[in-house]
Amino acid sequence: MNTYPRRLAYGMIGGGIGAFIGDVHRRAIALDGLAEIVAGCFSRDAQKNATTGLAWRVPDDRVYPDFESMAAAEAQRDDGIDFAVVVTPNETHHRIVKTFLEHGIHVACDKPLATTVAQADELAFLAADRNLKMLVTYPNVGFPIVKHARQMIASGEIGAVRMVMAEYPQGWQAPTAVESNAVVTDRSHLRWRMNPESQGPSGSVGDIGTHAENLVSYVTGCRVESVSAVLRAFGPNALIDNNASVNAHLSGGAVCHFWTSQIAVGYRNALRIRVIGEKGSIEWFGETPDLLTFTPLGGATMTLSKGTPDLHPHAQAFGRIPPGHPEGTYEGFANIYHAFAADVENTVGASGIGGGDARPDADAVRDDYPHVEEAARSVRFIHACVESSKRDAAWVRLDEV
Amino acid sequence: MNTYPRRLAYGMIGGGIGAFIGDVHRRAIALDGLAEIVAGCFSRDAQKNATTGLAWRVPDDRVYPDFESMAAAEAQRDDGIDFAVVVTPNETHHRIVKTFLEHGIHVACDKPLATTVAQADELAFLAADRNLKMLVTYPNVGFPIVKHARQMIASGEIGAVRMVMAEYPQGWQAPTAVESNAVVTDRSHLRWRMNPESQGPSGSVGDIGTHAENLVSYVTGCRVESVSAVLRAFGPNALIDNNASVNAHLSGGAVCHFWTSQIAVGYRNALRIRVIGEKGSIEWFGETPDLLTFTPLGGATMTLSKGTPDLHPHAQAFGRIPPGHPEGTYEGFANIYHAFAADVENTVGASGIGGGDARPDADAVRDDYPHVEEAARSVRFIHACVESSKRDAAWVRLDEV
Amino acid sequence: MNTYPRRLAYGMIGGGIGAFIGDVHRRAIALDGLAEIVAGCFSRDAQKNATTGLAWRVPDDRVYPDFESMAAAEAQRDDGIDFAVVVTPNETHHRIVKTFLEHGIHVACDKPLATTVAQADELAFLAADRNLKMLVTYPNVGFPIVKHARQMIASGEIGAVRMVMAEYPQGWQAPTAVESNAVVTDRSHLRWRMNPESQGPSGSVGDIGTHAENLVSYVTGCRVESVSAVLRAFGPNALIDNNASVNAHLSGGAVCHFWTSQIAVGYRNALRIRVIGEKGSIEWFGETPDLLTFTPLGGATMTLSKGTPDLHPHAQAFGRIPPGHPEGTYEGFANIYHAFAADVENTVGASGIGGGDARPDADAVRDDYPHVEEAARSVRFIHACVESSKRDAAWVRLDEV
Amino acid sequence: MNTYPRRLAYGMIGGGIGAFIGDVHRRAIALDGLAEIVAGCFSRDAQKNATTGLAWRVPDDRVYPDFESMAAAEAQRDDGIDFAVVVTPNETHHRIVKTFLEHGIHVACDKPLATTVAQADELAFLAADRNLKMLVTYPNVGFPIVKHARQMIASGEIGAVRMVMAEYPQGWQAPTAVESNAVVTDRSHLRWRMNPESQGPSGSVGDIGTHAENLVSYVTGCRVESVSAVLRAFGPNALIDNNASVNAHLSGGAVCHFWTSQIAVGYRNALRIRVIGEKGSIEWFGETPDLLTFTPLGGATMTLSKGTPDLHPHAQAFGRIPPGHPEGTYEGFANIYHAFAADVENTVGASGIGGGDARPDADAVRDDYPHVEEAARSVRFIHACVESSKRDAAWVRLDEV
């Protein structure tokens, strides 16, 4: 008789049917067969909680009414979950994550990690202290060609970084009439992102600026040290910023500009990063995430693609299909989950990732995912921007918020 | 105790670990939780067959040494597979598909359906005769914005179709030295595609031209009636065409040109279709599959995107995430599988697709996938091109091959 | 007192105020100060003829009522024109050009050279026989980066040419309602292009296909040997083709496809050529004429630009301003005129081109312009396409029309 | 005998053979036949001065050794120049322009107008006081589609402006080894731009940022009120900034970010402006200056083009040739000169612009060119950026420098 390798099991907090990001997490995990969902506390609405559990075939005794009882019960089971996936509104991340960590359960949490710096630091401390793995889902760093860009810069292919232009404009919040993302405006995940009580102190910086900051740090290897930020809440009903123009100093001496916007009519989800080095430059656009533009000093501008033989092997390891066969949002998520799952498996003694199929050895990918320390740094970035803007764009250091 | 909706079960023929397309099928089905893999005959190599079964947690008594015994055994089981997925080299499709159909099992088969017209017609007849569902995996028609394009043309938004430019250049077979797709050249799926014994009588038309033909038919609603084809086998080792330039007459009076190439240095997977109508035109490019370019007569060129509120509702139903969050190859495959699975469920009495989550009612999508009749038409297209080229580009009617 | 280098003098036939192409010729010549307009027969309308002469400061005794008297008078003058510029409807080219050649005057003529093969051949013979210089204005070959592409191919950088895709779609003739080029539809130059009496036997091939054919020949160094053509006259009022899909054999063994269209809604002036060689490929698009895309076998796709230091020196010689400062239609025309003027100056003993300013030595550019022999070949291309289409796309050799 | 309309005459200061920008001015004026060059003081090098005069057929008694004698002599002549074109290094603009204005001669001056605010204001006052016309050559505002963008915003088509992203990166100064613009690095016009004595206090802001600022003001109708600037001089030899990241407040309440760079490897001449309004957005890129991207709230992104019938008539008036026939740098310059020449002609009583040919009535274009007042504002912008950067990005108001 077969003895299958044990497959990781997870539970989800949030992500009731109709939720946007919880569904993305579930599908990304399923795509590579990384783990099975076996428990959940999907909604505070009991009916929705039950229906979601049924849809995903979660045993009804593992569909919990609240996250506290879930954490306690799962921690007691021999076959308890290996990790919890937290996909609730930002404001609740801290207490949910903390609870699971305190019960010794690894955690994957949607970004941003928390709404205050103290909360974020506490979670980072707690995970380190208990030796627990934490993934915070900044999926853009999961794309193979983004990993190649990081390797290029780390190995000096563009020389010292001088100027970074990072932008993340979206148009869904342009506050009048119908607009191009209106299809999603009646969903709760958009409503709570406009409300400081659930979203935290910043709208555009907190929701998407943090993606840009994480990407800049990952690709360039430079940290944001201080910011001079102009945040604006356009429209009569805006309670928190929906547009930000931020100058920043990076470690190593580069200048960086961030533009984040949720009122940028005509923009879908237009995360873009451009890095100017002393002997080369790169550009990456999140809506064509398989491609990277690279210009060496004195040479022509080139389009690099995931899947080509000249990619750094570590980057190569994260692709599934040949060049020109697009991989997108789900695959980006799947890639960071893949590395996280490899890390968790290594810790808990499972070994079943991905059917072994088109994926590389787990060792090759294990450590390359957004950790809690980076995510805590991103929370500092949010708060530094908010603080700077309040003080009329005065420079604020991230270490001092 | 919960009574879960029954989930569809499938078995796979071909797709041993390391195979390209079998893996794509498995992941696409997993992404939406459409069906579980429970049986297989993955490889003629017994060891590889066993290992693949283990990786995908297929019970070892359902890992079969040959497809005939698999079909017989699964047809006998109460919990036998609902459908078989055939992902073997083209030459073997006919006898495998035929066997499963004869055992009353629905089939999903990779394209092209068969290597002769007679075989293709036989399978189409057999499926219709037994009232069995067949999916042939032309995944490009699965993209929401492609479905929107079809709806636009069907509803007259660009008027009568006049000229179609369809092209599918790839560069992987450029026969000298290292080239941009060389990462995959050591894989068996590429070797057998260059060999007429496994591939059939045409290389570029059979492998990728058939995608273009299927897409033209789907989007325009016009059939290819006759072709005047120039096929070429470039390079010293080419046994079958790797480049084709084909003029065609479409039903309804339009002219169409197909260019297919596997020696097009610099092209990844560059399927592109442009349709010129009397009062508008559209363009779609398979490497950015969420986008469609549309120009109405007298107006500006517009970029339409999946996920925007103005999409035809049927097209909208096939998207998962908002505009600017790219969906790619896996999602294209998943979409045609979704419609097929809905059709099979309707027939077999299961009802569990997708957890109900971010997907529409199954009724909305049920019939919209590439059927065996269209796939048989594509086989005629291949043979008509081969025949025409042999006769120095004389016109050959598809009805007469 | 200064002795200025003598500046070339020219006269124009056609090009009355409001004419499209005559104005382009005049401005292109003026841009580089290549020659002064001193004579003309601008219109059969006496008033318009006079007004145009006045506007361009042509002495009134050199504004002629007909081209015959102009040729005769200018040939007699000591300060007679060095060359004639013929910018009349196609049908009239032959008799006007012939007249000036017979009077020993060099000629620049708009394309196509003539409406019959016999006429074209006669003009080519006549020019050669009298040792007179003739420019036929195919301006796309004037762009520096196009010249670089030619040099690349000539020096083997992409290896043997295998497949060429050449297309020139425009939308101005889409025959219903207002459309995107309608701004020009009331101009006479468009009316006569739709009338076979003034345009010749082909619409789209004669007007724009000939540009594509000339460009293919120039860039690849291969001649079109035979064609299999599908010409269509879409719309109720079309008297000659406005869309063509043409397969062709090139000398050297490559396959080529031409698409020309005047009913392609959404296309402005979209001349595009793609050349696939055995070890590289290039692409050039006429609406961004400073740029060239190049992919070497095994390498990334690169964007090359006019003005960069790695251009072939001969190509470099035709640019004026640095990369990123666009040069367009006027500069393309000016470049072929520049080479022609250098050739004429060399013959007539003038030496004043361009003020010597930002332009290279005349010797470097002298021979590189479209000559009458190439233009006569283009007329054969037109007629071969027309003949092939009449015979249901049978192959027709250019040498046999 | 003919009485020709009097054609404007001009003289040039600077622009000796080999100079970059002087040559552009001369060709742009020649393209449309706007004026004849009849005098000059082209170089302090007597030989070069004479040679340039000879090349451009300037009578030798009107080739002057210094600008003072030129101004004095031309002011005395009955047939003296109508306007002077000043194309010398920035530092010299003030005293040259002042001299010609004081002699009652209209002036076209390259940007920036002057190197100090006081100088700029003095020139603006002087021109107004003497009722003399001044053009300062910001040519990007000359493109028809840019004028259309201005009209769109002025007429409320995108609503109130909220966010502007303006950038002008170039790569020519990336200070090591060969790079993509190195072809021009040995030219004097680049050397003096890196030297504060000739360039003024800012490199990238002074040379190209001022183009961006002028374009923002022109297109949006909003003025820059204050700036918070981070200027950097990258590389061991940089004496003045070659990269700047500037936040700005615009009149009307919008936020604006400027990025200017001369060390941006991979960028040719990449001026780009994006304007986000409350109900629409636009984007324009200077390397494809005929095109404009426009997205209305709730609609698809559209590409608008010069030459299409839906352009505002005033914008339409500035194009020459149909859509898809590119017009570039020379035509942009020609357009602002066209409006300026119309204004000067109106003042001096000439009337010969452009041969009347493909150009509109002079009245339609007369006032639409960059005036001295706007150019003086741009000098304030430069100085405010320099001042802000010195004070660690503190806000500096343009009215207070």
pLDDT score, position C61: 97
Q: Are strands C255-261 and C161-169 parallel, antiparallel or unpaired?
A: parallel
Residues of D in contact with A176 (CB under 8 A): 278-279, 297
pLDDT digits (tens, 9 = 90+) for C5-54: 678 999 999 999 888 899 999 999 999 889 999 999 999 999 999 999 98
CB distance B366 to B181 below 8 Å:
no
Same domain, A213 and A348: no
DSSP 3-state assignment of C8?
strand
Nearest residue of B to residue D292 by CA position?
B300
- Residue B213, domain extent: 144-322+376-400
DSSP 3-state assignment of B107?
strand
Provide the pLDDT confidence category of residue A182 given band limits of 50, 70 and 90: very low
Q: Poorest-confidence range of B187-196, C172-181, D199-208, D239-248?
A: C172-181
Q: With a cut of 90, say whether residue D364 has pLDDT above it.
A: no
Report yes or no: D129 at the C interface, CB cutoff 8 Å.
no
Same domain, A259 and A302: yes
- Mean pLDDT calculated for residue range B82-97: 96
Task: Give me the residue label for tokens 């017979």.
Answer: C102
- Mean pLDDT calculated for residue range A2-24: 86
Provide the pLDDT confidence category of residue A185 given band limits of 50, 70 and 90: very low
Same domain, D150 and D112: no
Residues of A in contact with B353 (CB under 8 A): none
Same domain, C162 and C177: yes
- Mean pLDDT calculated for residue range B202-206: 95
Report yes or no: D288 at the B interface, CB cutoff 8 Å.
no
Same domain, A282 and A350: no
Of B73, B78, B52, B51, the closest CA to residue B62 belongs to B73
Q: With a cut of 60, say whether residue D186 has pLDDT above it.
A: no
- Mean pLDDT calculated for residue range C107-113: 97
Residues of A in contact with D392 (CB under 8 A): 395
Q: How many CA atoms lie within 13 A of C162 on its CB side?
A: 29
pLDDT score, position A177: 34
Q: Choose the closest CB to D289 out of C30, C170, C326.
A: C326
Residue A382 domain-assigned?
yes
Provide the pLDDT confidence category of residue C189 given band limits of 50, 70 and 90: low
Nearest residue of C to residue D290 by CA position?
C287
Report yes or no: B300 at the D interface, CB cutoff 8 Å.
yes
Cβ pairs A/C, distance under 8 A: 25
CB distance C276 to B264 below 8 Å:
yes
Greater confidence (A189 vs C177) lies with A189
Residues of A in contact with B268 (CB under 8 A): 305, 307, 322-324
Residues 6 or more apart in contact with residue D341 via CB below 8 angstroms = D8, D29, D34, D35, D353
Nearest residue of C to residue A323 by CA position?
C300
Provide the pLDDT confidence category of residue B5 given band limits of 50, 70 and 90: low
CB distance D55 to C357 below 8 Å:
yes
Residue C205 domain-assigned?
yes
Report yes or no: A300 at the C interface, CB cutoff 8 Å.
yes
pLDDT score, position B177: 34
Of C390, C386, C342, the closest CA to residue C135 belongs to C342
Residues of C in contact with A311 (CB under 8 A): none
Q: Which helix (H) or strand (E) holds B37?
A: strand B35-41
How many other CB atoms sit within 10 Å of the CB of residue B301? Answer: 22
pLDDT digits (tens, 9 = 90+) for B106-133: 999 999 999 999 999 999 999 999 999 9
pLDDT score, position B197: 82
* Omega within 30 of 0 (cis) for the link into A309: no
Same domain, D204 and D306: yes
Give me the interface pTM, i.e. the ipTM.
0.94
pLDDT score, position C390: 97
Long-range CB contacts (within 8 A, 24+) of A131-134: A132/A101, A132/A104, A132/A105, A132/A106, A132/A107, A133/A83, A133/A106, A133/A107, A133/A340, A133/A343, A133/A344, A133/A347, A134/A97, A134/A101, A134/A106, A134/A107, A134/A108, A134/A109, A134/A371, A134/A372, A134/A375
pLDDT score, position D191: 73
Residue A2 domain-assigned?
no
Q: Which of residues 215-244 of A touch D (CB under 8 A)?
A: 228, 230, 232, 234-235, 243
pLDDT score, position A2: 45
Q: Choose the closest CB to B301 out of D303, D309, D310.
A: D303
Q: With a cut of 50, say whether residue C266 has pLDDT above it.
A: yes
Same domain, C109 and C135: yes
Q: With a cut of 50, say whether residue C1 has pLDDT above it.
A: no
Report yes or no: D349 at the C interface, CB cutoff 8 Å.
no
Residues of B in contact with C234 (CB under 8 A): 162, 278
Residue C98 domain-assigned?
yes
Q: What is the 3-state secondary structure (H, E, C) of chain D?
A: CCCCCCCEEEEEEECCCCCHHHHHHHHHHHHCCCEEEEEEECCCCHHHHHHHHHHCCCCHHHECCCHHHHHHHHHHCCCCCCEEEEECCHHHHHHHHHHHHHCCCEEEEECCCCCCHHHHHHHHHHHHHHCCCEEEECHHHHCHHHHHHHHHHHCCCCCCEEEEEEEEECCCCCCCCCCCCHHHCCCHHHHHHHCHHHHCCCCHHHHHHHHHHHHHHHHHCCCEEEEEEEEECCCCCCCCCCEEEEEEEECCCCEEEEEEECCCCCCCCCCEEEEEECCEEEEEECCCCCEEEEEECCCCEEEEECCCCCCCHHHHCCCCCCCCCCCCHHHHHHHHHHHHHHHHHHHHCCCCHHHHCCCCCHHHHCCCCCCHHHHHHHHHHHHHHHHHHHCCCCCEEHHHC
Q: With a cut of 80, say whether residue A351 has pLDDT above it.
A: no
pLDDT score, position C334: 95
Residues of A in contact with B180 (CB under 8 A): 305, 308-309, 323
Q: Give me the CATH number covering residue B23.
A: 3.40.50.720
Report yes or no: B313 at the A interface, CB cutoff 8 Å.
no
Same domain, A168 and A300: yes
Provide the pLDDT confidence category of residue D48 given band limits of 50, 70 and 90: very high
Q: Which chains touch D (3 or more CB pairs under 8 A)?
A: A, B, C
Q: With a cut of 90, say whether residue B187 has pLDDT above it.
A: no
Q: With a cut of 70, say whether residue B320 has pLDDT above it.
A: yes
Minimum distance, in Å, between the CA of residue A148 and any CA atom of chain B: 16
Q: With a cut of 70, say whether residue C182 has pLDDT above it.
A: no
Q: With a cut of 70, say whether residue A179 has pLDDT above it.
A: no
Same domain, A314 and A181: yes
Average pLDDT over all residues of chain D: 91
Residues of A in contact with D295 (CB under 8 A): 171, 180, 265-266
Same domain, B167 and B310: yes
Same domain, A250 and A392: yes
- Mean pLDDT calculated for residue range D12-29: 93
- Mean pLDDT calculated for residue range C301-321: 91
Residue D207 domain-assigned?
yes
pLDDT digits (tens, 9 = 90+) for D273-319: 999 999 999 999 999 999 999 999 999 999 999 988 889 999 988 98
Average pLDDT over all residues of chain B: 91
Tokens of A222: 């430079």
pLDDT score, position A303: 97
Nearest residue of C to residue A306 by CA position?
C300
Q: Which of C100-109, C175-184, D166-175 has the highest mean pLDDT?
A: C100-109
Residues of C in contact with D52 (CB under 8 A): 355
Q: Give me the CATH number covering residue C192.
A: 3.30.360.10
pLDDT digits (tens, 9 = 90+) for A53-94: 988 889 999 999 999 999 999 999 999 999 999 999 999 999
Residue D110 domain-assigned?
yes
Q: Determine whether the interchain pair C228/B232 forms a contact, defined as Cβ–Cβ distance below 8 Å.
A: no
Q: With a cut of 70, say whether residue B356 has pLDDT above it.
A: no
For helices A329-348 and A20-31, the axis angle rounded to 10 degrees is: 70
pLDDT score, position B58: 94
Report yes or no: C189 at the B interface, CB cutoff 8 Å.
no
| Sheet bearing B106-110, strands edge to edge | B35-41, B8-14, B83-87, B106-110, B134-137
Alpha carbon D332 to its chain's center:
10
Same domain, C365 and C387: no
Q: Determine whether the interchain pair D303/B308 forms a contact, defined as Cβ–Cβ distance below 8 Å.
A: no
Q: With a cut of 60, say whether residue C2 has pLDDT above it.
A: no
Q: With a cut of 80, say whether residue B179 has pLDDT above it.
A: no
Residue C272 domain-assigned?
yes
pLDDT above 90 covers what percent of chain B?
80
Q: Which helix (H) or strand (E) holds C381?
A: helix C372-390
pLDDT score, position A123: 98
- Mean pLDDT calculated for residue range C71-76: 98
Greater confidence (B192 vs D26) lies with D26
Provide the pLDDT confidence category of residue C356 given band limits of 50, 70 and 90: very low
Residue B287 domain-assigned?
yes
Name the domain count of chain A.
2
Q: With a cut of 60, say whether residue C289 has pLDDT above it.
A: yes
- DSSP string for residues in A157-212: TT-SEEEEEEEEE--TT--SS--TTGGGTTSHHHHGGG-HHHH-S-SHIIIIIHHH
Residue C264 to residue C262: CA distance in whole angstroms: 6
Q: With a cut of 90, say whether residue A181 has pLDDT above it.
A: no
Q: With a cut of 70, say whether residue C177 has pLDDT above it.
A: no
pLDDT above 90 covers what percent of chain C?
79
Which DSSP symbol is given to B103?
A: T
CB distance A247 to D393 below 8 Å:
yes
The residue among C164, C256, C276, C279 with the most chain B CBs within 10 A of its CB, best to mutate, is C276
